[in-house]
Amino acid sequence: MTTQHAEEVQAAGEHAVDAAHGAIEEGFNAGEVIIEHVSNSSLDHPIVQLPHIAGIDFSVTKHVMMMWLVSGFLFLVITMATRAYLKQDRRIPSGFMNGLEWLVQSIRDSIVLPNVGAKFVNTWTPLMLTLFVFILVCNVVGLIPMFETLGLFDRFVLGNSHESESLINSVLHGGTTATANYNVTAALATITFFSIMIAGTMAHGFIKHWKNLVPSGLAKPVYALLIPIELMGMFVKPFALTMRLAANMTGGHIAILSILSLVFLFAEIFTSAAVGIGVGFTLALPLAVGISALEIIVVMVQAYVFTLLTAVFIGMAINVHH
């Protein structure tokens, strides 16, 4: 991971150099560069232009593409490992399968089982597993500067210009972390939102599930207070999930990019590239590497937290304790 991070830092730096080239005439704008590296690619220049349906632009932007890449990768790797494992006469897990099995078992036994309960454990484990691996890999991919490396290749090996319409250049714009986008996390939280309802309905029936929202047998005025609060809670739960994941993913990247921007800010202030490079090696690079290391923990923790909280909410709808 360390080399990857060194690469990331290097590539991000190079990319910033790139951006700074264009900005040299009007001065280096750190904010713009950072936003460009964290946010989705613009809807005005999508990777694949698709028609509007019911006023919604379905064009494939960078984050959509990232999700497809992640999904395809996950599906291939996990399905192939599973099939190879299940084909054996004596099922002995080995290599990658050991890790996969550990993941399946620990998510089932330490996230789903204690929260959801033994009755529905096999119903909800697939959702939790998919949530976990999808969020985790989306997060991790954001830490790997693969497109920046591709950009360097495009610029210096293929010799395409900054403004060219090459395929590589078209996928360069925008951040790679789909889970840093509020629209993506909101969609994932929406899945949690409906999963809670489905779980409650499956366990108690449709009407009973809604009745379970508030405890029974209280005085009427209490309900006037409780029902709005509980209804609000219904929406606050996925909203919190949305914000937590997206903000965490955005925050780390902004921190790394801000620190790397110091290189160009100092170079500009002192009008000397040497000062910028000096600051880069003594301050920016060690700090950025440190934050990248921290980010490795954050991406795992956030994937875990999202999965765990989804399991907790689903468990609350199934095992009602009032």
Partner 1 sequence: MDNPLVQPDPGLFIWTILTFLILLGLLAKFAWGPLLKALDERQATIRKSLDDAEQAQQELAQLQEKSVQLIAEARAEGQSIVAKSRAAAETVREDLHQKAKAEAAAMVTAAERQIQQETARAVQQIRHEVVELSLSVASKLIKKNLTAEGNDALIQDSLRQIDASRPS
SS3 (DSSP) at 56:
strand
Q: Hey, CA dihedral for 228, 231, 235, 241, is it positive or negative?
A: positive
Return the bridge partners of 57, or none: 52
CB of 38 to partner 1, least distance (A): 7
Interaction of residue 178 with partner 1, rule CB under 8 A: yes
Q: Are 310 and 131 in contact (CB under 8 A)?
A: yes
CB of 197 to partner 1, least distance (A): 15
According to CB under 8 A, which residues from 58 to 117 bind partner 1?
58-61, 63-64, 67-68, 71, 74-75, 78-79, 82-83, 85-86, 91, 100-101, 104-105, 108
Q: Are 4 and 292 in contact (CB under 8 A)?
A: no
CB of 146 to partner 1, least distance (A): 19
Interaction of residue 186 with partner 1, rule CB under 8 A: yes
Among 12, 20, 28, 40, contact with partner 1 (rule: CB under 8 A): 40
Phi-psi region at 44: left, alpha or beta (left = phi > 0; alpha = psi -120 to 50): alpha
Interaction of residue 35 with partner 1, rule CB under 8 A: yes
Q: Are 67 and 138 in contact (CB under 8 A)?
A: yes
CB of 39 to partner 1, least distance (A): 4
Interaction of residue 14 with partner 1, rule CB under 8 A: no
Segment interacting with partner 1 (CB under 8 A) among 7-15, 57-65, 222-230, 266-274: 57-65
Interaction of residue 57 with partner 1, rule CB under 8 A: yes
The Cα–Cα gap between 57 and 47 comes to 13
The Cα–Cα gap between 112 and 310 comes to 9
| Residue whose structure tokens are 């934050």 | 291
C-alpha distances in angstroms, 94 versus 73, 97, 98, 219, 302? 20, 5, 5, 60, 28
Kindly state the number of chain residues that form the binding site for partner 1, as judged by CB under 8 A: 50
Segment interacting with partner 1 (CB under 8 A) among 5-13, 17-25, 184-192, 199-207: 184-192
Interaction of residue 275 with partner 1, rule CB under 8 A: no
Interaction of residue 122 with partner 1, rule CB under 8 A: yes
Read off the amino acid at residue 237.
Answer: K
How remote is the C-alpha of 225 from its chain's centroid?
36
Among 127, 171, 257, 299, contact with partner 1 (rule: CB under 8 A): 127
Please name which of 284, 12, 257, 32 lies closest in space to residue 147, comparing C-alpha atoms: 12
How long is the chain? 322
Interaction of residue 188 with partner 1, rule CB under 8 A: yes
Binding interface with partner 1 (CB under 8 A): 35, 38-40, 42-43, 56-61, 63-64, 67-68, 71, 74-75, 78-79, 82-83, 85-86, 91, 100-101, 104-105, 108, 122, 125-127, 129-130, 133-134, 178, 181-184, 186-188, 190-191, 250
